[in-house]
Chain A
Amino acid sequence: MTTDLTRRSAAEMASLLSTREVSAVELTQAHLDRTDAVDALVHSYLHVDHEGALAQARAVDQRRAAGDDLHPLAGVPIAVKDILTTKGLPTTCGSRILEGWVPPYDATVVTRLREAGMPILGKTNLDEFAMGSSTEHSAYGPSRNPWDLERIPGGSGGGSSSVIASFQAPLAIGTDTGGSIRQPAAVTGTVGTKPTYGSVSRYGLVALASSLDQAGPCARTVLDTALLHAVIAGHDQLDSTSIDAPVPAVVEAALRADVSGMTVGVIRQLTGEGYQAGVQTRFDEAVALLVERGAKVVEVDCPNFDYALAAYYLILPSEASSNLAKFDAMRYGLRVPPAEVDDPSAEQVMAASRDAGFGDEVKRRIILGTYALSSGYYDAYYGQAQKVRRLIADDFSRAFASADVLLSPTAPTTAFRLGEKLDDPMAMYRGDVATIPANLAGVPGMSLPSGLSDEDGLPTGIQILAPATQDDRLYAVGAALEAALLERWGAPLLTRAPDLSQGAVT
């Protein structure tokens, strides 16, 4: 019964809860048991809140028993990427510099989860301060891909993707700055959406690149993702960059699952050369399936996407170098004295603490960003990158004039081995080439499974992109494709993943 419960979709769990076939406590306990069984292998979590989650579940059961009006997802447990502040629960951002830090406030996204009555199981692992594409840059050790424990689960949100893929949670919150929800989804055979920039509050989301970051939903199905999207999206007075408009009808679109009459555009620059054969094949098949289901396909040309990676790796480090300046050992976080200095000054303590507390990737990006912003270099680097950004946004506008949604493979490859790209930062960065443009332009994007690659049997993902504020289109197309693929496969892709409860899989 326990295993059965954790295999269900969130929508099914919600249904079981509402009919009282299952209690919130049972459901939460089932997931905590699953974590006890497998997380030593997967390492999705940095912190599991057994007590808190069960207490929240109990409260939901009591309210249901009392006949209170409850949110449809009340009692469905969820995991939260450890870059969103959770009052009373440690929030490390995957870094030593925040080891043990307990925030005195909740992120708005977290508040909305609590208000919906969704027990928070724990905080998931990530590349330090969300900088990375493999979760290998977490100061607390990497998470692993449930499909092959020697491979990356994607990054930066490898904890959120693996926690879903290993059935430790039906839902998770991720964040996406350059693909950190979508790419992990692609390599783990799960679903993830980066919403339109500004449609989900960033209050309490520890900033990496303020103009690129968005929190978003992660799940195993498109409908589940939509249900979670609807909980967290919406205007927030505490976030000046938050859109004051109703949340798009994502759930209805997911239920509709209809692409007939829609035009889908394949982005010339994000397909073909540079993409692993198996990834490309599954992508082409998925596009063909959409056509079978009534969509029209066109090719779109986005020539400035060729500059996206360069622009991103200038804008992000620049904003990050400023955002991470607050970690200076004065008000919170790690404080270490410099070695062999009597009576160190505040400046010296700052510099020693930051060197000790930040990992290599973070330091690299801070230095790069400091350089790109410095006087004499601003115009050529940061200033220029912001212009390229506008070119990319214009490319999107032009493309959306001839297509309702755009498509590409989510990532050029399937999950690579742990350690494979650690010595070559540029190789790591190149994995983001398909996901980065959406963050630069602020448009929404989703990744859902397109199948397993022939050469290595690992999950591949297809990326759907929509115009800003039209997030519902992602769900209409995604759900239609998901249904078509399910029909072809006979069972969800994740049923083919190894059974972790048997121990390590070689």
Chain B
Amino acid sequence: MTTHATREPETLMGYDEALTHFDPVMGLEVHVELGTATKMFCGCSTTFGAAPNTQTCPVCLGLPGALPVVNEIGVESAIRIGLALNCEIATWCRFARKNYFYPDMPKNFQTSQYDEPIAYEGYLDVDLDDGTTFRVPIERAHMEEDTGKSLHVGGATGRIQGADHSLVDYNRAGIPLIEIVTKPITGAGERAPEVARAYATALRDLLKALDVSDVKMEQGSMRADVNLSLRPRAADAQDQDAVPLGTRTETKNVNSFRSVERAVRHEVMRHGAILHGGGSILQETRHWHEDTGLTTSGREKSDAEDYRYFPEPDLVPVAPTRELVEALRATLPEPPAERRKRLLADWGYSDLEMRDVQNAGVVELIEATVSAGGSPAGARKWWMGEPSRRANGQAQDVASYAAEVGLTPALVAELEGLVTGGRLNDQLARQVMDGVLDGEGTPTAVADARGLELVKDDGALEAAVDAVIAANEGVADKVRDGKLQAAGALIGLVMKQMKGQADAARAREMILAKLGQG
């Protein structure tokens, strides 16, 4: 019988204190749901949100007699992921059956890979906040299938405890999963939580760039399990690796990048308190609670839960040719970290500016704008301006907001072009942007419709300058006397007279010239 721990707070040791006594070692297991059109072993659609049990067939329902057939894009995605993680790709590997019983498992075995993963021995370099790089070693990436989904009925919270029965939908059963497992991550020290989060984020970015999944942790297309153990801190740092690993616990239900970081931190503090008090760690699976920031005990995890793995006899081995592997390697996008370094060099942003555009999620938009003829600085200014402000106001990311209102990179480049081409100044261009975001049309169309245009005609400008000088002789005299700053007020008045549609620089030039300072 499984015991469910109550939510009594466990004793925690202070984080910093724990790090003086112990060295944390982590492992992360990430499951990625592929965005293929069909399931891993049958042709059922994977479209999200279908009515229950309308996307099933004898194969994914586990009906007697049904047989699996491998999805070729599942294999290709697995290889591409492996390559992007700098892994070796197996020349020959098999699927294996992982045997255990659970009502959401149609066959009561999962078709997975055991000791022959398709990709193994890789790494991912992740950038930390301080600009340093940490290399996370990857043990393997392998192919497997997802389970059905259960609704637990009758309990108070819809959770499994206290439910009196469950309702199972097998639409999700058989959807391709790629499991990515790190080797024990050592050497992170007190930065372990940050490293864990950085790894999860970097992995997400990489998978997104590969276009294999929509990788949304909140929606379950990317799931992370966090493993943590502590070992005594060695007196001498170079002796640390010789210290044997401690007993680890696995934490599930970690549903965001922030939770990954918090869960690592919490487990360090929890293990620390137990070990420092002379106790020993129970090897178990724990459940993360985002609301309380605590883990609670799940079931005891025996390291060799007897899954009785054996090679899947209904499937034949997968032996990717080196030609295929190289062809897939050629389809890999530039790794996000390298891309960022290249853009930084090309665009000339500062690190802070780069960080800002990344956090705002506008890097691709800027790239596209530059491709469409905009300047890097201009593209950054425009995308980080009103569009970002309005997107944030609607709690949306900029890209989807822009798509909604029809603001494309090409249009932003067009807007910038109107400024560099002299038709608009910055202030007028802002008005035009407002118009575009309000749905009035393209920048050119908006400028036309609103009659926004810098007046090029020197005659009109000269008339305005003369009028302003005449009406402000006192200020004009100051300028004549050499106080050039005073010209600012005159320029402002000229601009006001010209309804903003004047080239302020030209106006200044003219004013100074007329007052003997040009």
Give A residues with C-beta under 8 Å from B: 84-85, 91, 93, 98, 101, 103-105, 107, 202-207, 209-211, 237-241, 318-319, 321-322, 325-328, 330-332, 343, 346-347, 350, 370, 373-375, 378, 382
Contacts and interface: CB of A to CB of B under 8 A. Distances in A.
A350 B101 contact: yes
B99 A241 contact: no
B155 to A, nearest CB: 13
A210 B313 contact: yes
B313 A203 contact: no
A320 to B, nearest CB: 11
Contacts of B308: 321-322, 370, 373-375, 378
A322 B103 contact: no
Interface in B302-357: 304, 306, 308-310, 313-316
Given A325-B101, A346-B103, A373-B99, A206 B64 contact: yes
B164 interface: yes
B173 to A, nearest CB: 10
A211 B315 CA distance: 10
Interface string B22-63: 000000000000000000000000000000000000100111
Contacts of A319: 310, 313
Interface in B250-265: none
A373 B310 contact: yes
Interface in B50-94: 58, 61-70
A80 to B, nearest CB: 13
Nearest to B69: A240
B67 A202 contact: yes
Contacts of A210: 313-314
B106 A85 contact: no
- Pick the most buried of B61, B65, B68: most chain A CB atoms within 10 A of its CB: B65
- Pick the most buried of B61, B66, B67: most chain A CB atoms within 10 A of its CB: B67
Contacts of A91: 64
Contact of A105 (B58, B103, B315): B58
The 5 closest A-B CB pairs, nearest first, are A325-B108, A373-B308, A210-B313, A211-B313, A206-B64
Contact of B64 (A93, A237, A321, A375): A93
Contacts of B309: 373
B109 interface: yes
A331 B310 contact: no
B64 A85 contact: yes
A131 B478 CA distance: 110
Given A105-B58, A319-B313, A346-B166, A326 B106 contact: yes
Interface of A is mostly: loop
B316 A204 contact: no
11 contacts: A84-B65, A103-B64, A207-B64, A210-B314, A240-B314, A240-B316, A325-B109, A346-B103, A350-B101, A373-B310, A378-B310
A288 B67 CA distance: 44
A104 B56 CA distance: 12
B198 to A, nearest CB: 36
Given A207-B64, A240-B69, A374-B308, 14 more contacts: A91-B64, A104-B58, A206-B64, A207-B314, A210-B313, A211-B313, A240-B315, A240-B316, A326-B107, A327-B64, A331-B63, A346-B103, A375-B304, A378-B308
Nearest to A211: B313
- Pick the most buried of B64, B67, B99: most chain A CB atoms within 10 A of its CB: B64
A394 B70 CA distance: 29
- Pick the most buried of B99, B109, B304, B313: most chain A CB atoms within 10 A of its CB: B313
A350 B102 CA distance: 10
A203 B67 contact: yes
B231 interface: no
Nearest to A377: B308
A210 B103 CA distance: 23
Given A326-B106, A346-B166, A370-B308, A107 B65 contact: yes
A211 B168 CA distance: 31
A316 to B, nearest CB: 11
A238 to B, nearest CB: 6
B101 A203 contact: no
Nearest to A97: B64
A238 B69 CA distance: 7
Given A240-B316, A328-B108, A322 B66 contact: no
Given A346-B103, A347-B101, A374-B308, A103 B65 contact: yes
B67 A240 contact: yes
A318 to B, nearest CB: 7
A382 B310 contact: yes
Nearest to B61: A331
A319 B107 CA distance: 13
B63 A105 contact: yes
Contacts of A207: 64-65, 314
B172 interface: no
A328 B62 CA distance: 11
A331 B306 contact: no
B97 interface: yes
A346 B150 CA distance: 13
